[in-house]
Amino acid sequence: MAKRRQVDVEQTRVWYDCDRTEAISEAILGAVSDHMECDETALPPISEYTDVDALNTLFGTRRPAAPALSSGTLEFKYDDVVVTVSTIGTVEVRDAADAEPTSD
């Protein structure tokens, strides 16, 4: 799971380890459930909002032959929140109503 979590009123940030056995999509669900203070099973399927296979490939395991981003971020709306995933090892979740798109 995630190494460390930071939760405040406006945003939840999770630091994740790319070399773990957990898929990034699972780390995202954990971060969103923490932010929304609900069980992961109460959330809609993440596949309704983004391509889970592509997400796990781009931000997943750092095996030598595995395709992955060397640097960058991906931001998408998921239910009532905006999720930002970064190759530096963070998942940030914030309320969609309060979110302004980030830029790199």
45: in domain: yes
Query: How many folded domains does the chain comprise?
Result: 1
Question: What is the spatial distance between Cα 74 and Cα 54, in angstroms, rounded to a whole number?
Answer: 11
In a domain, 67, yes or no: yes
Asked if residue 104 is part of any domain, the answer here is no
Q: Which residues contact 103 (CB under 8 A, 6 or more apart)?
A: none
On whether residue 100 sits in a domain, the answer given is no
Look at residue 50 and tell me if it is in a domain: yes
Q: Quick check: is 31 in a domain?
A: yes
Place of tokens 């980030």: 102
Has residue 103 been placed in a domain?
no
> Rounded to two decimals, what is the model's pTM?
0.76
pLDDT, one tens digit per residue, over 40-91 is: 999 999 999 999 988 888 887 555 555 566 788 999 999 999 999 988 888 8
Is 9 part of a structural domain of the chain? yes
What local confidence, expressed as pLDDT, does residue 42 receive? 96
- Count CB-CB contacts under 10 A for residue 16: 24
